[in-house]
């Protein structure tokens, strides 16, 4: 075994996908929709697969199928208010996962520090370590008093301490990973919060790896702000997106990066020597999906408008059912995840052998085995040293059919 693999052999998704498959009747664990992708996207895939153009079964351009990079350049060019060159400012990857992997491999040297905001999407830490880097963690903390008067907490109540964040930047800092909307909390970073991060990046000449896979999933009229659009940030930011999240097709594994050529040229070096490219037919179908979305941009028929509208109702429904039984939810401003407080929700977790495993993790395992309901412990989104800092929360995915959410609510109501 290579040294770079030491200590990163465990994976929360591998573990909980197996637990859910074995025990769950209702799976609100791993993040994926149990409803189908939109018809226009499925039809585009079928056309790509069985149409006249049999070249779609063969290799395509390494850094992205030309129709896809062209439409992504147009689409994100419009959002960022700048002309993007499809060949140099966009690169298609095997999901957002591979985009992240390319970033760490391309920019992080032995001993470089990478700042990660906790709680974080779990793969950032092992990926930084595999590149020889040192993850440096800075927490979002719930601001005190936000739960008063019986009001539910919002993901907006989880905030960075500006002085603490600033203290993490040093000459060894190579990059910061930003994930807004944030998985698992659902926090959508405000302009002020993004400006704070941007100013520190500029001051310390640090790169920003901006994971925006939930860019369309924002609620209550909130605005998703792209950090690459802030003063001084375009040149130092790689923005990452995912067709899996944008079009409810996580199994397609189509992702992308958008950024300046000075950074993307190095991502291309990693990519051409690893994955090379992702499935041509899937890229062709996603290109057609974006073509449609560009034509309907901002209109009510746009999937990027419709999906969050539907998800907001699902969120509200799950918030209500959790609150009704005393599993206090933190209302997410974005993503399709919701974190709930299990501390008032006592149960007998004694059949799981006592260990130094955080309580939320033991609870989640107990819950799937005894109640048939799968969710993810929040400690999975903290580094080893911090796993017990917030160990009485679990994360639910609400990108689910009504019947699935209803079944989850039934389990909760019958709990006691």
**379 near ligand GLN, rule: CB under 6 A:** no
Beta-strand pair 113-118/134-139: parallel
**183 near ligand PMP, rule: CB under 6 A:** yes
- C-alpha 13: how far from chain center: 13
**216-236 b/e with 16+ CB inside 10 Å = b?**
bbbbeeeebbbbbbbeebbeb
Answer for the pair 379, 391: CB distance below 8 angstroms, yes or no.
Answer: yes
CB of 2 to ligand PMP, least distance (A): 23
Nearer to ligand PMP, 107 or 345 (CB): 107
CB of 356 to ligand PMP, least distance (A): 27
**119 near ligand PMP, rule: CB under 6 A:** no
**304 near ligand GLN, rule: CB under 6 A:** no
Phi, psi (rounded to 5 degrees) for 319: -55, -45
Phi, psi (rounded to 5 degrees) for 179: -135, 95
Contacts of 322 (CB under 8 A, 6+ apart): 328, 329, 338, 340, 396, 412
Q: CB under 5 to 8 A by kind: which of ligand PMP, ligand GLN, none does 242 bind?
A: ligand PMP
Token digits for 52? 């006249």
Among the candidate windows 21-29, 242-250, 349-357, 364-372, which touches ligand PMP by CB under 6 A? 242-250
Q: CB under 5 to 8 A by kind: which of ligand PMP, ligand GLN, none does 95 bind?
A: ligand PMP
Rounded CA gap, 379 and 395, in Å? 10
Residue 179-198 contact track with ligand GLN, rule CB under 6 A, x = bound: ----x---------------
Q: Mapping DSSP to helix (H, G, I), strand (E, B) and coil, where does residue 185 land?
A: coil
CB of 94 to ligand PMP, least distance (A): 7
**13 near ligand GLN, rule: CB under 6 A:** yes
**97 near ligand PMP, rule: CB under 6 A:** yes
**211 near ligand PMP, rule: CB under 6 A:** yes
Rounded CA gap, 222 and 191, in Å? 11
- Contacts with ligand PMP by CB under 6 A lie at 31, 95-97, 121, 179, 183, 211, 213, 242, 244-245, 250, 255
- Contacts with ligand GLN by CB under 6 A lie at 13, 30-31, 183
């Amino acid at each position: 075994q290579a040294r770079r693999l030491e200590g990163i052999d465990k994976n929360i998704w591998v573990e909980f996908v197996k637990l859910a498959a074995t025990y769950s009747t209702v799976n609100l664990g791993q993040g994926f929709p149990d409803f189908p992708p939109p018809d226009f996207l499925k039809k585009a895939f079928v056309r790509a697969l069985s149409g006249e153009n049999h070249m779609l079964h063969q290799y395509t351009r390494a850094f992205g199928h030309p129709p896809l990079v062209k439409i992504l350049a147009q689409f994100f060019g419009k959002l960022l208010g700048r002309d993007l060159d499809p060949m140099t400012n966009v690169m298609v990857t095997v999901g957002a996962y591979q985009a992240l992997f390319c970033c760490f491999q391309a920019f992080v040297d032995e001993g470089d520090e990478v700042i990660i905001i906790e709680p974080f999407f779990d793969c950032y830490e092992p990926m930084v370590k595999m590149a020889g880097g040192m993850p440096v963690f800075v927490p979002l903390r719930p601001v005190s008093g936000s739960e008063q008067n019986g009001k539910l907490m919002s993901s907006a109540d989880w905030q960075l301490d500006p002085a603490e964040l600033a203290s993490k930047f040093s000459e060894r800092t190579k990059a910061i990973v930003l994930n807004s909307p944030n998985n698992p909390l659902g926090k959508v970073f405000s302009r002020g919060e993004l400006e704070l991060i941007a100013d520190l990046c500029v001051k310390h000449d640090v790169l920003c790896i901006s994971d925006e896979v939930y860019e369309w999933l924002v609620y209550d009229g909130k605005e998703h702000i792209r950090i690459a659009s802030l003063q001084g940030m375009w040149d130092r930011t790689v923005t990452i997106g995912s067709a899996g999240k944008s079009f409810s097709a996580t199994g397609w594994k189509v992702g992308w990066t958008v950024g300046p050529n000075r950074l993307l040229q190095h991502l291309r070096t990693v990519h051409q020597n690893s994955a090379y490219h992702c499935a041509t037919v899937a890229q062709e179908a996603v290109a057609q999906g974006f073509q449609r979305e560009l034509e309907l941009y901002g209109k009510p028929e746009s999937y990027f408008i419709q999906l969050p509208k539907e998800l907001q109702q699902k969120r509200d429904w799950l918030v209500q059912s959790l609150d009704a039984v005393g599993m206090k939810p933190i209302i997410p401003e974005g993503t399709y995840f919701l974190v709930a407080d299990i501390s008032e929700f006592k149960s007998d977790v004694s059949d799981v052998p006592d260990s130094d495993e955080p309580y939320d993790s033991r609870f989640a395992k107990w819950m799937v085995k005894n109640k048939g309901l799968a969710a993810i412990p929040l400690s999975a989104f903290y580094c080893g040293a911090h796993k017990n800092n917030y160990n009485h929360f679990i994360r639910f995915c609400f990108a689910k059919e009504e019947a699935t959410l209803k079944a989850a609510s039934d389990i909760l109501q019958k709990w006691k």
